[in-house]
A and B are shown apart, each in its own frame.
With several copies, the nearest count.
Chain A
Amino acid sequence: SIFSGVRDSFLQEHQKKEAIRSVVQQLENTSCRLVTHFSLIHQTPHSKLAELCKSSEPLLKDVEQQLSSLSGIIPPNHYYKYHDHWKCVLQRVSFMISLKAFLESSVSGKTSEALVTRESVSATLGGFQLDLEDYLIGLLMLTKELSRLSVNSVILGDYNVPVQILSFVNELSSGFRLLNLKNDTLRRRFDSLKYDTKKVEEVVYDMKI
């Protein structure tokens, strides 16, 4: 009958969503471990940051593998149909990857590599598709974290870091100002970027005095 075909489609859809949910839950656990790992930056002296970044890589490998399982479930061209399921966790992972890039450039002094591109994040994710807005939200999470890091670097005696952060945050700000944002999540998070910038400026100003 007409109805039974529809019912079958619904059942298949249901099973696919359950499969997605299961992989996403694993991803969330890994991303949680990543966040815990990188939360140590606020207590880690600059000389040990390279090591901290290095030791996060097995976790990023796990992420890559889990995303590869996820890719196996999503039918071609149906990324956005299920996007809501992994949006949040992907933003967080993207945030972690861009944080790692910033820290590594801070250590190496190659400021041109401080900002990781969307393509580069996606590559680290084993080529898993990354929505532009999710990548941008990840960057805004990064600036929030860096504003806090600028305070803690001073406590740790690393007086160079806040200056690097300020320059990076200023660059991001001018970038974001180019975008025509609608009144959505991105817009609201962008508003807090202004606040984060101000905080970093105060730290650098306090150090000058």
Chain B
Amino acid sequence: VDIFLKYQEELDLKHEKQERLVKLSRDVTIQSKKVIFQIHRHFDEKEDAGENKNEDILREAQQKLDFIRSSLIRKITEEIQFEDVGKFHKSYSSGIQEYLEAVMFLYYKKNGRLVSFAEVQKDLIYSNDEASSSDKNYLKFPLSVTDYVLSIADLTGELMRQAVTVVSNGNTTLPFLILHFLRDVQTFFLGLKSTGNYSCKKELSQKLSTLNECVTKVERVCFHIRL
């Protein structure tokens, strides 16, 4: 029976770590959603609201994302640094996806294109200030390609909402840009499907069908502009 005491300890440690990660992940989700709403508010303004004000809002959003990264996600990274990749993935992936969506949304707003996987991953490498681990002077969050891809699908929902909003403010250019971008994403997802039995088949299929709906909605918007 003694051996079960060891098992007890191992199970308890795992459950506790899961619990902490789930909590951190939830915080990441909440904070990231706030950033997304903030950017949306920005689009609610008239296009000519003044460059300065817009820049302020974007800068603020960027600061919040920096904070999420340097505090919450860093804590997650520390929790899992000595763990097998994937062991706790389920506990934190929903938060990470929301974070990625916010990053992508802001980046699109600033640069009009998609942020690359490498760029997002680069931001999630931390210098390690703990003396103990002298052999490795940095900490790296193990970003999953699947999370990155699923976040792209979520991003399209935000952009669709944006297209609908700006048109009622008289902006008739942006919806066409967004439509173009969404179609690229659509083609990419269709391409993924035809490379075969890709991972996370079911999730991707769901996302693809909501993506198709988003495209259709933006098409309606563009149709009414054109008429």
Does chain A have a CB within 8 A of B8? Answer: yes
> CB-CB < 8 A to B216: which residues of A?
148, 151
Does chain A have a CB within 8 A of B114? Answer: yes
Q: Closest CB of chain B to A207's CB: distance in Å?
A: 7
> CB-CB < 8 A to A182: which residues of B?
15
A5 engages B3 (CB within 8 Å): no
The contact string, 1 if C-beta is below 8 Å from chain A, for chain B 51-86, is 000000000000000000000000000000000111
Closest to B216 in A: A148
Report B's interface with A, CB cutoff 8 A: 1, 3-5, 7-8, 10-12, 15, 84-87, 89, 114, 116-118, 145, 148-149, 183-184, 186-188, 190-199, 216, 219-220, 222-224, 226-227
B114 engages A42 (CB within 8 Å): no
B145 engages A13 (CB within 8 Å): yes
Q: A133-B11, A182-B15 are in contact. List 18 more A-B contacts (CB 8 A).
A: A5-B116, A6-B192, A10-B145, A10-B192, A13-B199, A25-B197, A42-B183, A42-B219, A81-B84, A118-B7, A151-B223, A154-B223, A154-B227, A155-B222, A178-B4, A178-B7, A180-B11, A203-B223
The contact string, 1 if C-beta is below 8 Å from chain B, for chain A 1-15, is 011011101110110
Does chain B have a CB within 8 A of A91? Answer: no
Q: Closest CB of chain B to A156's CB: distance in Å?
A: 9
Q: Which residues from 56 to 79 on chain A have a C-beta closer than 8 Å to any C-beta of chain B?
A: 77-79
Does chain B have a CB within 8 A of A123? Answer: no
Contact sample, A vs B, 22 pairs, CB 8 Å cutoff: A7-B188, A7-B192, A10-B145, A10-B149, A13-B199, A17-B199, A30-B194, A33-B194, A39-B190, A43-B183, A80-B84, A81-B86, A81-B89, A115-B3, A136-B7, A151-B216, A151-B219, A155-B222, A176-B4, A179-B4, A180-B12, A206-B227
B219 engages A155 (CB within 8 Å): yes
Q: Closest CB of chain B to A28's CB: distance in Å?
A: 8
Contact of B196 among A14, A36, A176, A179 (CB under 8 A): A14
A165 CA to B184 CA in the complex, in Å?
26
Q: Closest CB of chain A to B151's CB: distance in Å?
A: 12
Contacts between the two chains (Cβ within 8 Å), count: 132
> CB-CB < 8 A to B1: which residues of A?
171, 174-175, 178
**Overall SS of chain A's interface:** helix
Closest to A81 in B: B86
Q: Closest CB of chain B to A61's CB: distance in Å?
A: 16
Q: Closest CB of chain A to B101's CB: distance in Å?
A: 16
Interface size on A, residues (CB 8 A): 53
A181 CA to B222 CA in the complex, in Å?
37
> CB-CB < 8 A to B227: which residues of A?
154, 206-207
A14 engages B86 (CB within 8 Å): no
A35 engages B190 (CB within 8 Å): yes
> CB-CB < 8 A to A43: which residues of B?
183
Q: Closest CB of chain B to A143's CB: distance in Å?
A: 14
Closest to B193 in A: A32
Does chain B have a CB within 8 A of A29? Answer: yes
Q: Closest CB of chain A to B175's CB: distance in Å?
A: 10
Query: Contacts A9-B145, A80-B87 hold; do A175 and B192 have CB atoms under 8 A apart?
Result: no
A178 engages B8 (CB within 8 Å): yes
Q: Closest CB of chain B to A38's CB: distance in Å?
A: 10
B15 engages A180 (CB within 8 Å): yes
Does chain B have a CB within 8 A of A192? Answer: no
A6 engages B7 (CB within 8 Å): no
Q: Which residues from 126 to 153 on chain A have a C-beta closer than 8 Å to any C-beta of chain B?
A: 132-133, 136, 148, 151-152
